Amino acid sequence: MVPAAGPVLGVDTATSRTGIALVDDTVVLAEAAFHRRVPPSRSLMPALEVILSAAGLEPAGLAALAVTVGPGGFTGIRVGLATMRALAEAAGRPLAGVSTLAAVAAAVSSDDRPVAVWLDAGRHEVYAGLFHGGDAAGPESVASPADVLADLPHGPILFAGDGALCHAALIAGRAGAAPADTVSGMPAGVAAATARLGRQALAAGTALPPAPRYLRPPDATLARG
């Protein structure tokens, strides 16, 4: 569905910071990001109400909604999806799923270098994706940092994400490392990037479904029987 003109609400609960943004075309109307001192199940809906109220908007006044679907924290993904599905249904507006790794890459200020996004996945692994010129340059994966490094091309790369920051020393010693390599943590503006990518994907008919994209099974699963 092609979204109508107007603001898009973007939400990220898959990374270490909950982010909310209202974006109209390329203009960020309102944005908030906060660490997880309070779990998203308790903090997300009140924060959404504050953002919408500050902008003088009701959910029905949105053109569309977008939410990160993973990979990332399992609980955060579930809470973000459930909240945004309910909001989209109540407002009668389309909801786009957005890859968390793509949203982080889009939030990074990059030159012509590829962007390697690494998010901490626990178990001494990272969720990883490589992007160049705004497009994915390969499949997303969950693997050990050493295995991910072995698959990266030679030449300068911009590394982003909390996983990249945790493994900065390993990255610095990678084969094919270049002096122009840069390692940064989580960029600001992930929720705003989610809103922009969501609008673009809805217009192009390429939006991900609003369903979890874990890349590996959750640590805890319900027993069947």
Instruction: Per-residue pLDDT tens, the chain, 225 aa: give them.
Output: 656 679 999 999 999 999 999 999 889 999 998 887 778 888 899 999 999 999 999 999 999 999 999 999 999 999 999 999 999 999 999 999 999 999 999 999 777 899 999 999 999 999 999 999 889 999 999 999 999 999 999 889 999 999 999 999 999 888 666 666 788 889 999 999 999 999 999 999 999 999 999 998 766 554 443
Provide DSSP, 197-224.
HHHHHHHHT-PBPSS---SS--SS----
125 vs 68: CA distance, rounded Å:
20
| pLDDT, tens digit (0-9, with 9 covering 90-100), for 90-120 | 999 999 999 999 999 999 977 789 999 999 9
Q: How many other C-beta atoms lie within 10 A of the C-beta of residue 172?
A: 11
Domain boundaries, the chain: 8-100+188-204, 109-183
Q: Which CATH architecture has domain 109-183?
A: 2-Layer Sandwich (3.30)
DSSP H helix total and E strand total for the chain = 7, 11
Q: Which residue carries 């919408």 as its tokens?
A: 52
Q: How many residues does the chain have?
A: 225
CATH no. of 8-100+188-204: 3.30.420.40
Crossing angle for the helix pair 74-91 and 40-54, to the nearest 10 degrees: 40
**Nearest C-alpha neighbor of 117 from the set 159, 169, 71, 69:** 159
Does 109-183 match 8-100+188-204 at the fold level? yes
| pLDDT, tens digit (0-9, with 9 covering 90-100), for 208-221 | 999 999 998 766 55
